[in-house]
Structure 1
Amino acid sequence: MSEADKGAEQSNPLVGLRDRIDELDTNILQLISERARLAQEVARVKLAAGGDAVFYRPEREAQVLRAIMEKNIGPLDDEEMARLFREIMSACLALEKPVRVAYLGPEGTFTQQAALKHFGHSAVCVPMSAIDEVFREVEAGAVNYGVVPVENSSEGVVTHTLDTFMNSSLQICGEVVLRIHHHLLCGENTRQDKITRVYSHAQSLAQCRKWLDAHWPMVEKVAVSSNAEAARRVKSEWNSAAIAGDMAAELYGLTKIAEKIEDEPDNSTRFLIIGNDSVPASGTDKTSLVVAMRNKPGSLHRLLAPFHCYDIDLTRIETRPARSGVWNYVFFIDFSGHKDDPKVQYVLREVESLAAELKVLGSYPKGVL
């Protein structure tokens, strides 16, 4: 460094800081490029081994992201650092083979946002018009994975998703929890003083019920197929508004009349990743079951007893009416652990001996992001 440069740095410390940032950026660029080249080499090794090469490994990616969060020393928080690595991993995986993902559309829904959060922006995301269509696309092999909503913290389970699992061969491969913020949106032609109806998905209308009753009690609340559809309609109307999220607002060029209008401040939705193959243990996993029981006194107690006996942590239990006359109801159960764990195998054998039918929907890594 010349004397002139030293003098400039001393008189303006930003010069030295910016030079250091430029140097680090160059190093980061070189390291990311090296990582990408290694990803290409991994693809070559997998293809050379023959058979059906598996490029996306949910358990491996969960392990990498957890390790990043454990090693992070700040000042960026753990989740922000993991999100950065999520995008690097997504881009590197696309060099091997882009992941194709079906989601409950249309474009701009929270389900698309969940898909991007889990797979990164280098995944090829394909919108479907219904939950059962997502299942069919994955079953047919047209896409590698699907993303479907399963429960909301305010409004409970998405029954259509649970019911579709009962007749599907697909496995749950992962989960995503998305913090849901709803906004009241209008288009460029909207006359805000003349709004007579509000469009949104039925779940979103329910999640904003109290706010709407307090601020817009006289407007007609119209349920449509998705929040993105609500946003699309509003763009061409002058007397309507939509409840939707940031992605739909940006996609359709809408303006926010009011932000974060959800009734519950911690409103969130859990989404499931579905695929054709089972997932090996990642070290921190969940398992989901569907259990059919005959209607006898004490059935639920007998069903839950093995979990208590082997100290298995139940994280969710949901009852749904059975479609068959052989039994009266079925239970959807989530618990901590992997189906290959010895304790879990003991529990599954005991539950199977008590149940009319037992189906393991999948063991998968607990959501990291």
Structure 2
Amino acid sequence: MTELPSLPGLRQAIDAVDDQVLALLNRRAALAGEVGRLKAAAAPEALFHAPAREREVLARLEAASPGPFPAPAVRTVFQEIMSACLSLEKPLRVAFLGPEGTFTHLAARHQFGGSSQSLPQGTIQAVFQAVERQRADYGVVPVENATEGAVDSTLDAFLDSPLAICAEILLAVDQALLLRPGLDLAGVRRVYSHPQALGQCRRWLETHLSGADRIEAPSTSEAARLAREDAEGAAVASELAADLFGLRVAETKIQDLAANATRFLVLGPKSAEPTGRDRTTLLAMAQDGPGALLRLLEPLARRGLNLSRIQSRPTRRKLWEYAFFLDVEGHAEEPSMAEALVELRGACASLKVLGSYPRAMEVAR
């Protein structure tokens, strides 16, 4: 009869493995430090972060893991390891629509890890400016939600910005109702949140809090702060915001769409390198006249390029002048896309490639 291992023996074995993991982490950190010194000597002003290399490493490790460690957790763990090691080379500064505790903050942490230097900004325009003025290496802004559609202020900011889109993030958005300790639903008179969040939870709020006033806040995190100060107030926000502001989670997943998600864009100095599963975002000014939009789309259709999204916005420069934002599958350096861009420039009043970047293949949680 085989003798089963004892619990103390298993714990001792785990402790020994933990010691090995710790030693290897410190070995990796030392190697990262050497890489940082070499980079600094070669190009003191260069951006240390190498997104293409990072994606390559994460994909390799996910594919190579035999289990039983959960595959999704492999990426999460190594993202944090790389973030911590990168901070030894040069802290990565990331601006995002703040304050801390917003879903944009969660998206930034997912992309860059917890060891990056967080720079919360009060507006989307301020995020753009932080990167443009080199106060931040990257910026993270929301661009569309599955329920409420486009974030117009992000699209408008691209009209005059030199920044490129270098990545996208799809983040699951689970809204929660947050209350002060001791307050119940019957006592709620005001519900604070960002307009997008209130829109995402419209049906739930009408069913359960129809008599409460809905008050717009600059962010879900600010909504949580306001609810904390209001004896009859509640907030629609993330569960992280509850922890930050000492509120209790009264209800979870109150959004109308169960699979609610928001798409975020990462702003940087240049586009990403081709990966074979990319997306390109274009900003086009169509020439005025009949068939203008058709002339904009034909060069893409003839080459079999998939247009996944089109959105129009007034340019605010001339009466009734509109800009079109187009998301097209493929990278600007691929031959078919490059040919289409040449033709589009002839068919448009102006055309700007906002960036080519890897498509987010799954929704992060």
Equivalent positions of 1:4-19 (< 5 A) are 10=3, 12-19=5-12
Q: Secondary structure, in 3 states, of the residue corresponding to 1:10?
A: coil
TM-score (norm 1): 0.93
Determine whether 1:42 maps to 2:32.
Answer: no
Deviations 1:68-104 (A, max 9, x none): 2222333344322111111011001111011011111
TM-score w.r.t. structure 2 length?
A: 0.94
1:243 aligns with 2:265: no
Q: Secondary structure at the match of 1:332?
A: strand
Look up the match of 2:47: 54
> Which one-letter code corresponds to 1:21 in the other structure?
I
| Change over 3 Å in CA distance of 1:50–1:107 after alignment to 2 | closer
Residues of 2 paired with 1:278 and 1:117: CA distance? 19
Distance 1:282 1:32, change over 3 A: farther
2:247 corresponds, among 249, 254, 257, to 254
Return closer, same or farther for 1:46/1:237 CA change in 2, 3 Å cut-off.
same
Distance 1:166 1:82, change over 3 A: same
Matched, 1:231 2:186: no
| TM-fit CA distance, 1:17 | 2.8
Deviation at 1:161, TM superposition (A): 0.3
Q: Say which of 132, 157, 160 aligns to 2:153.
A: 160
Paired with 1:346 and 1:327, the residues of 2 have a C-alpha distance of 30
What residue identity is the alignment partner of 2:84? A
SS at match of 2:171: strand
The question of 1:198 aligning with 2:185 is answered no
One-letter amino acid of the counterpart of residue 135, structure 1: F
Identity, % of aligned pairs? Answer: 43
Cα distance between partner residues in 1 of 2:319 and 2:60 = 47
Of 235-244 and 11-20, deviating more is 11-20
Alignment counterpart, residue 184 of structure 1, candidates 177, 188, 209: 177
Q: 2:350 aligns with which of 349, 357, 362?
A: 357
CA-CA distance at 1:324 after TM superposition? 3.3
Task: Give the equivalent residue in structure 2 for 1:295.
Answer: 288
Pair 1:268-2:268 in alignment: no
Q: Summarize the alignment of residues 40-119 of structure 1 with structure 2, pairs less than 5 Å apart.
A: 40-119=33-112
Q: Secondary structure at the match of 1:198?
A: strand
17, 36, 54: which one aligns with 1:24: 17
CA–CA distance in structure 2, aligned partners of residues 82 and 249 of structure 1? 26
8 Å contact kept, 1:190–1:237: no
- Residue aligning to 1:219: 212
**Matched letter for residue 350 of structure 2:** E
Shift of 1:37: 1.5
CA RMSD, aligned part only? 2.0
Shift of 1:248: 0.8
Q: Which shifted more, 186-195 or 244-253?
A: 186-195
Q: Return the offset for 1:253.
A: 1.0
| Cα offset, 1:191, TM superposition | 5.6
Q: Spell out structure 1 runs of 4+ moving beyond 4 A.
A: none
Q: How many residues are matched?
A: 362
Contact 1:185 1:244 in 2 (8 A): yes
Aligned partners of 2:235, 2:265: CA distance in 1, in Å? Answer: 26
Residues 270 and 355, structure 2, Cα contact 8 Å, conserved in 1: no
Q: Is the 8 A contact 1:327 1:356 kept in 2?
A: no
1:43-90 Cα shifts (integer Å, max 9, x gaps): 111112135322111222122222222223333443221111110110
1:115, distance to aligned residue in structure 2 (A): 0.7
Deviates more, 1:301-310 or 1:38-47: 301-310
Q: Distance in 1 between matches of 2:155 and 2:302?
A: 27
Shift in Å at residue 15 of structure 1? 3.4
1:174 aligns with 2:167: yes
Structure 1 letter corresponding to 2:135: A
Unaligned runs of 5+ in 1: 1-8
Residue matched to 2:113: 120
The aligned counterpart of 2:315 is 322
Between the aligned partners of 1:12 and 1:79, the Cα distance in structure 2 is 29
Unpaired runs of 5+ in structure 2? none
* 1:3 corresponds to: none
Change in Cα spacing, 1:311 to 1:68, as seen in structure 2 (3 Å) is: farther
Residues 143, 265 of structure 2: 8 Å contact kept: yes
Distance 1:45 1:117, change over 3 A: same
Asked if 1:336 corresponds to 2:329, the answer is: yes
Q: Deviations over 1:181-208 (max 9, x none)?
A: 1111111364643211111111101000
Counterpart of 1:272, as a letter, is L
Q: Which moved more, 1:202-211 or 1:215-224?
A: 215-224
In the alignment, the residues of structure 2 paired with residue 352 and residue 327 of structure 1 have an alpha-carbon distance, to the nearest angstrom, of: 21
**Counterpart secondary structure, 2:274:** coil
Contact 2:314 2:320 in 1 (8 A): no
